[in-house]
Amino acid sequence: MMDLTLTTAGFLVGLLVGFTGVGGGALMTPFLIYYGLAPAVAVGTDLVYAAITKTGGLVLHHHRGTVHWRIVGLLALGSLPAAALSITLLRHLAESGVNYESLITSTLGISLVLTSLFLLFRSTKSDIGPVVASHQVKIPCRVGICTVVGGALLGVLVTLSSVGAGALGAAMLMLLYPRLRTVNVVGIDIAHAALLTAASGFGHVQLGTVDFTLLWHLLLGSIPGIALGTRLGIKLPELFVRRALGALLLSVGVSFSI
């Protein structure tokens, strides 16, 4: 039986994701917690949801040649081990009888605040200039190290909150690789996010914190929502919506942090 509330939520989140490019975790996880799910189940279910939805974007960007896999590899070098360690920590806490919901909600609050600040103060990145091919991207040693460290930070935040793989990853890429065009930033970000959410989601499946019935309802609404949001992207005031969304996420993030 279809849960219209969850399917509608999936549609609305998909609509905003398709329009603004903001990761679904920043929108879906808080909703699921307010809906009444345990924070761990909300995070785990949303991670698997994100892995499925982002895989389609990964395939598309790979075929378009917009993914610089060397940079994705550096991010994953930090994020995947960090995700595994975070899952190990959650398993240890669960086996020890420790309630780790406060850890998840606090991390979620921090991730939402960081995401909202990026949305509120992000400048528009210009696509004017030559396309930089993957083999032409110069990665100095210090930039490579910062990429790995940044990936590790994303691995912890995403595994514990399901938030950050999209917006925070994009912010990091624009800071470390200013010569990349927007299409390449998006391609790299989606490719890495797909890998990270899949790994983190698998860990949560092992923990038993994924509700597959809930996942089905969310996907049923989000897929048409993303398609419609992508079409509306050329007709609506993106800057206004992005800043309004940033203000909303900031208030939600603060509420989870206090």
Tell me, what's the pLDDT at 21?
60
227 has pLDDT over 80:
no
Tell me, what's the pLDDT at 79?
97
Domain count of the fold of the chain: 1
* Residue 230: band (very low, low, confident or very high) from pLDDT cuts 50, 70, 90: low
Tell me, what's the pLDDT at 1?
46
As given in the structure block, the two tokens for residue 40 are 């761990």
For the residues of 2-33, what is the DSSP string, one character each? --HHHHHHHHHHHHHHHHH---HHHHHHHHHH
CA 92 – CA 54 distance, rounded (Å): 29
pTM, entire model = 0.86
- Domain, as residue range, for 131: 4-257
